[in-house]
């Protein structure tokens, strides 16, 4: 990787949603210029960028323009065509690599890669045909059938308790490749955001404890309320995985924590992550600052936690006919509101989040839950 891409260079990003928007804000504040490639005419990131290429992610002319005008390119989501990133790699710095993104796009490849890297995952079977369901499933039921590609925020996942349910779920997913993952007794879920540079410098943000609702992240608590040994092991596993991938950029690693404290890697995201949004206010550098620094060949910033924090997602569910009563949040001196600039709200759509900072995580959590309840009413 070419070292030290400096302001006022043009940086590119594939994807213009909220993650792209927050990347753009970080890059602009550091003096870079930004080109966003996104087919949405109302792209939240495109509204702020120097250039918005309103085209498909595999559009040849748009990709060539990125290659001709940018010194480095990244992505805000894993389902961008890996072939587009491979094309750009011929001309400019691309992070993460097309190979790393390709692995993260497919649960079968992802789980096999993690396992072959010597790290633990939940017991799983690759289900690519009805014949694969004829094998002994007893060690994987009850389980969750997850579509291998394009599943996110709980979409493309079905809980199954028998062969018949697994068969029906597979057929309902049109026979597309899936993984059947054994359902486990979880104590909690945590995640680690890693930044790794092209010369192998790696740092982790503090471990986040994550709680979901309807398959979508609801709340993240930092520091995670797990034993220090568990948190340290999560960081070590995340760093080992980033090393195995020869990863450059920001990588999110999500874990299951079992009752005995055992850690299993659930999945990875080759980009900043919802559970890392607390870094916008509670660490010296955010995960988006790190994304810019890594793609530009700069050393990662300081990741120390400056304050315990709780992040709460804001979904379109609370909009109704009017804007939510933002004064509930803005009147609190220790609460930071972040809205994503999306034009329309709908149920389940991530519209923003807020961070509550306090002297301890439990106090921040209590305040966050109270504020969330008031907003919901």
pLDDT for the residue 1: 43
Q: What is the mean pLDDT of residues 130-144?
A: 89
Q: Does domain 10-94 have CATH number 3.20.20.70?
A: no
Q: Does domain 186-376 have CATH number 3.20.20.70?
A: no
pLDDT for the residue 273: 98
pLDDT tens, residue by residue, 315-373 = 999 998 889 999 999 999 999 999 999 999 999 999 999 999 999 999 999 999 999 99
CA angle centred on 101, ends 97 and 107, rounded to 5°? 150
Q: What is the mean pLDDT of residues 146-150?
A: 89
Q: What is the mean pLDDT of residues 174-195?
A: 95
pLDDT tens, residue by residue, 163-183 = 999 999 999 999 999 999 999
d(CA 175, CA 281) in angstroms, rounded, equals: 44
Does residue 113 carry a pLDDT above 80?
Answer: yes
pLDDT for the residue 154: 61
pLDDT for the residue 136: 85
Token pair of 146, please?
């997850």
Domains 10-94 and 186-376 share a fold: no
Phi and psi torsions of 170, nearest 5°: -65, -45
Q: Domain residues of the chain, as ranges?
A: 10-94, 123-182, 186-376
pLDDT for the residue 29: 98
pLDDT tens, residue by residue, 44-90 = 999 999 999 999 999 999 999 999 999 999 999 998 999 999 999 99
pLDDT tens, residue by residue, 227-273 = 999 999 999 999 999 999 999 999 999 999 999 899 999 999 999 99
Neighbour-count burial for 76-100, b at 16+ CB within 10 Å, e otherwise: bbbebbbebbebbbeebbbbbbbeb
- Burial environment of residue 210 by CB neighbours within 10 A (0 to 12, 13 to 18, 19 or more): buried
CA angle centred on 254, ends 250 and 255, rounded to 5°? 145
123-182: CATH architecture: 2-Layer Sandwich (3.30)
Does residue 202 carry a pLDDT above 60?
Answer: yes
């Amino acid at each position: 990787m070419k070292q030290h891409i400096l302001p006022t260079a043009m940086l590119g990003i594939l994807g213009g949603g909220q993650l792209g928007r927050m990347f753009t804000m970080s890059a602009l504040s550091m003096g870079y210029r930004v080109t966003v490639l996104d087919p949405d005419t109302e792209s939240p990131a495109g509204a702020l960028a120097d250039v918005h290429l309103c085209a498909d992610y595999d559009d040849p002319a748009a990709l060539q323009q990125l290659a001709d005008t940018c010194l480095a390119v990244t992505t805000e989501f894993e389902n961008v065509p890996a072939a587009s990133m491979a094309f750009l790699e011929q001309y400019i710095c691309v992070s993460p690599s097309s190979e790393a993104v390709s692995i993260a796009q497919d649960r079968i490849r992802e789980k096999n890669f993690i396992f072959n890297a010597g790290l633990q995952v939940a017991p799983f079977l690759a289900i690519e045909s009805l014949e694969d369901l004829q094998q002994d499933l007893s060690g994987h039921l009850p389980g969750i059938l997850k579509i291998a590609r394009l599943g996110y925020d709980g979409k493309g996942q079905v809980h199954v308790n028998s062969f018949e349910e697994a068969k029906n779920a597979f057929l309902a997913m049109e026979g597309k490749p899936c993984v059947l993952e054994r359902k486990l007794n979880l104590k909690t879920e945590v995640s680690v955001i890693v930044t790794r540079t092209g010369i192998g410098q790696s740092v982790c943000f503090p471990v986040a404890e994550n709680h979901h609702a309807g398959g979508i992240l609801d709340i993240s608590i930092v520091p995670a309320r797990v034993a220090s040994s568990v948190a340290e092991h999560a960081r070590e596993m995340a760093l080992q995985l980033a090393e195995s991938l020869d990863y450059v950029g920001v990588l999110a690693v999500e874990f299951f924590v079992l009752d005995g404290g055992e850690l299993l890697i659930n999945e990875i995201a080759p980009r900043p992550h919802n559970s890392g949004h607390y870094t916008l206010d509670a660490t010296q550098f955010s995960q988006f600052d790190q994304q810019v620094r890594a793609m530009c060949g700069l050393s990662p910033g300081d990741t120390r936690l400056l304050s315990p924090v709780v992040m709460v997602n804001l979904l379109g569910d609370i909009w109704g006919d009017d804007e939510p009563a933002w004064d509930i949040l803005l009147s609190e001196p220790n609460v930071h509101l972040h809205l994503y600039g999306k034009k329309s709200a709908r149920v389940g759509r991530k519209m923003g989040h807020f961070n509550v900072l306090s002297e301890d995580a439990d106090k921040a959590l209590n305040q966050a839950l109270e504020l969330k309840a008031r907003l919901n009413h």
